[in-house]
Structure 1
Amino acid sequence: MLNPQWLRSFAAVAELGGFTRAANQLGLTQAAVSQHVQHLEGQLGPLLIRRGRQIELMPAGVALLDYCNEVEQAHKRLQRQLTDSTVDSGEVSLITPGSVGLALYPLLLDLQQAHRGLVIRHRFAPDTETREAVLDKRYELGLVTLRPDDPRLAAEPFAEEPLELVVPAGENVASWADLERLGFIDHPDGRAMATRLLARHFPGNPGLRGLPLRGFSNQISLILEPVARGLGFTVIPRHAREAFANAQAIRVIECGTPVVDTLWLVHRAEWPLSSRAVWLLDQIRARLAFGAASA
């Protein structure tokens, strides 16, 4: 590793064309500047041709000056990253469950359209992958459905996500027999969600095992397609239902007291969030709150 002070002295000599001018600019003696250049030449070979008070760079000197400029630019980039308070430009990374991701993604695109310098990197993932991605520093922000107990992750409530019983349009569910008639459209979290919601709506029910299975999808955006085609019912988070384009083909059955999941915002506990991340979260919260008030 080359001494940074030697590099500054060499760059000043090369750019100003002399040792005296370089020494004056750096606040050093001419002897100190000359000594710094001699140290570099001892490691790298001849750098300068001295002709009286004029100097000329040798090939090694040209290469070293390029290196000095690269080091200076890298230093400036580091300073900008460490002190950057710009909130509406640069990259923010976010990893979320698919259901809330469907609701968030249009909001993220709206923000990028309004702030062209902003780059939002978003990924759909289950809780396990989200925790690992945040811990591995691949994503700054994550949303999970279960609060993590890893002390390396800071977690705070971010949003609530009610579960909904969704049936084909025109259908009604007044009894367990209606569910048996319709049949169940399953998904990766379907049985767990349906068990929780239906236990509250139909206390003492015989359980999902007695319901006919009409289909399965692991794509959050496609789970409601078979429901819309009249093939069965499902239980799904509200954000996923709200993002479904063919809303007129489905119906939400009122189930009384809602079953609500909490979405937890997670990030590395040791590090403060970037200004961009804080700004992005404020924008998302405001828009989600407005959407809920308008629903």
Structure 2
Amino acid sequence: MLNPQWLKSFATLAEVSSFTATAERLGITQAAVSQHIRHLEQQLGPLILRSKRPLELTPAGRALLDYCQQVDRAQHHLALRLSEGDVTCGEVSLISPGSIGLRLYPQLLDLQQHHPDLTIRHRFAPDNEVMDAVLLNRFEMGLMTQKPDDKRLVAQKFTEEPLELVVPAGTAATKWEDLEALGFIDHPDGQAMATRLLSRRFPGNPGVRNLPQRGFSNQISLILEPVARGLGFTVLPRFARMAFHLQDGIQVIEAGNALVDSIWLIHRAEWPLSARAQQALRWLEAKM
């Protein structure tokens, strides 16, 4: 491993192009600077052309300077990650299911606009991937639609989200035959969600699997596109419906008693959330 002090002397020399100025900036002797460069050259070969004015780097010298800059960036990034004193810089990482993610990601970007030195890293994933990502420390926080039963995790209720029956705007859906006429727009959780919700609105119905299927999409932001075009109906969590860009093309049909799911915030139990994560949570809770 290369001595950090030697690297600092070399990087400063490459910047100021003078042994004397390098020694003055670092508060060491010129002989010490020369010794540091000599140690590096013994390991890496010639780094500078001393006969040139200003000093010129060899190809090996340019490669070493690039390495020094990478080290500086890595040290800066590490300091940001470990720092608890400043919540306005560093990374906020969150992994969540699609619907709640559509609701929260724009809010996180608003927070980043207030504090541009923050980095927002968000990923959409189903519950099982959310739990694994947090357990493996790939993300500091996760959101799940089911409360996990794992002692390695802390789980607390974050918010609630109802399921909604969504039909094309201006469409009546007061009886099961209306849904049969429309047809179902399915998605990865569509059958399960529709079964849960429609059993309340239409007790004793023949079952969602007996409805004509008019389409399928695994992209949550696109599931309502065919609905807005009059091609069918679907059942989605509220936040996914709220994020859809063509609200005038759809409408929500009341489906009897509301079916409301809890959204759970999880993180590793062994250590508390970072100050940045806690700030982000307070910001999000205020926006819900």
Give the alignment's TM-score, normalised by structure 2.
0.75
Alignment partner of 1:245 is 2:223: no
Q: How is 1:76-91 mapped onto 2 (pairs within 5 angstroms)?
A: 81-91=81-91
Alignment partner of 1:57 is 2:57: no
Structure 2 equivalent of residue 169 of structure 1: 169
CA contact (8 A) 2:169 2:250 kept: yes
Distance in 1 (alpha carbons) for counterparts of 2:236 and 2:93: 26
Structure 2 equivalent of residue 99 of structure 1: 99
Structure 2 equivalent of residue 43 of structure 1: none
User: Once the two structures are superposed, what CA deviation does each residue of 1:251-283 show, in whole Å capped at 9, x if it has no partner?
Assistant: 100123210111111111111110000000000
Structure 1 equivalent of residue 198 of structure 2: 198
Give the letter aligned to residue 206 of structure 1. P
User: Once the two structures are superposed, what CA deviation does each residue of 1:54-98 show, in whole Å capped at 9, x if it has no partner?
Assistant: x973656678xxxxx999999998677545221122111111111
Distance in 1 (alpha carbons) for counterparts of 2:206 and 2:150: 37
RMSD value, Cα? 3.1
Give the letter aligned to residue 207 of structure 2. G
Give the letter aligned to residue 211 of structure 1. L
CA contact (8 A) 2:155 2:266 kept: yes
Alignment partner of 1:218 is 2:196: no
User: Once the two structures are superposed, what CA deviation does each residue of 1:112-156 show, in whole Å capped at 9, x if it has no partner?
Assistant: 112111111111111111111111111101111111112111111
Give the letter aligned to residue 191 of structure 2. R
Distance in 2 (alpha carbons) for counterparts of 1:59 and 1:177: 84
CA contact (8 A) 2:158 2:262 kept: yes
Give the letter aligned to residue 57 of structure 1. Q
User: Once the two structures are superposed, what CA deviation does each residue of 1:214-246 show, in whole Å capped at 9, x if it has no partner?
Assistant: 111100000001111111110000000000011
Give the letter aligned to residue 270 of structure 1. E
CA displacement at 1:16 relative to structure 2: 5.4
Distance in 2 (alpha carbons) for counterparts of 1:85 and 1:277: 13
Structure 1 equivalent of residue 152 of structure 2: 152
Structure 1 equivalent of residue 10 of structure 2: none
Q: How is 1:108-123 mapped onto 2 (pairs within 5 angstroms)?
A: 108-123=108-123
Distance in 1 (alpha carbons) for counterparts of 2:282 and 2:112: 15
> Counterpart of 1:146 in 2: which secondary structure?
coil
Distance in 1 (alpha carbons) for counterparts of 2:28 and 2:115: 41
> Counterpart of 2:221 in 1: which secondary structure?
coil
CA gap of 1:62–1:261, structure 2 versus 1, over 3 A, is same
Give the letter aligned to residue 35 of structure 2. L
Distance in 1 (alpha carbons) for counterparts of 2:80 and 2:112: 22
Distance in 2 (alpha carbons) for counterparts of 1:162 and 1:213: 23
Percent sequence identity over aligned pairs: 60
> Counterpart of 1:221 in 2: which secondary structure?
helix
Runs of 4+ in 1 over 4 A off after TM superposition: 14-17, 58-63, 69-83
CA displacement at 1:205 relative to structure 2: 1.4
CA gap of 1:74–1:229, structure 2 versus 1, over 3 A, is closer
> Counterpart of 2:138 in 1: which secondary structure?
coil
CA gap of 1:60–1:167, structure 2 versus 1, over 3 A, is same
CA gap of 1:15–1:222, structure 2 versus 1, over 3 A, is same
CA gap of 1:75–1:109, structure 2 versus 1, over 3 A, is closer
Give the letter aligned to residue 188 of structure 1. P
> Counterpart of 2:270 in 1: which secondary structure?
coil
Which is higher, the Rg of structure 1 or of structure 2?
Answer: 1
CA gap of 1:206–1:58, structure 2 versus 1, over 3 A, is closer
Alignment partner of 1:282 is 2:260: no
Structure 1 equivalent of residue 52 of structure 2: none
> Counterpart of 1:130 in 2: which secondary structure?
helix
Give the letter aligned to residue 220 of structure 1. I
Which ranges in structure 1 are unaligned for 5 or more consecutive residues?
3-13, 18-47, 50-54, 64-68, 289-295
CA displacement at 1:171 relative to structure 2: 0.5
> Counterpart of 2:222 in 1: which secondary structure?
coil
Structure 2 equivalent of residue 231 of structure 1: 231
Give the alignment's TM-score, normalised by structure 1.
0.73
Structure 1 equivalent of residue 50 of structure 2: none
CA gap of 1:114–1:199, structure 2 versus 1, over 3 A, is same
> Counterpart of 1:185 in 2: which secondary structure?
strand
Which ranges in structure 2 are unaligned for 5 or more consecutive residues?
3-25, 42-67
Alignment partner of 1:124 is 2:131: no
